[in-house]
Amino acid sequence: MIGIIDYKAGNGPSVLSAVTHLGYKAELVSMPERLLEMTHIIMPGVGSAGATMKSLEELGLIKAIKKAVLDDKVPFLGVCVGMQILFDYSEEEDTECLGFLPGRVVSFNRKNVRVPQMGWNKVYFSKNTGYEAADGYFYFVNSYYAVPDDKSLVWGIAEYDGWFTAAVSKDNIFGTQFHIEKSGEAGLKLLKGFLSTEGRRM
**Which sequence positions are flagged as catalytic?**
80, 179, 181
Secondary structure of 26-64 in the HEC alphabet? EEEECCHHHHCCCCEEEECCCCCHHHHHHHHHHCCCHHH
Q: Which amino acid is at 149?
A: D
- Tell me which residue of 91, 87, 108 sits closest to 161, measured CA to CA: 108
Contacts of 115 (CB under 8 A, 6+ apart): 107, 108, 143
Query: Strand pairing of 173-176 and 76-79?
Result: parallel
Cβ contact 68:187 at 8 Å:
no
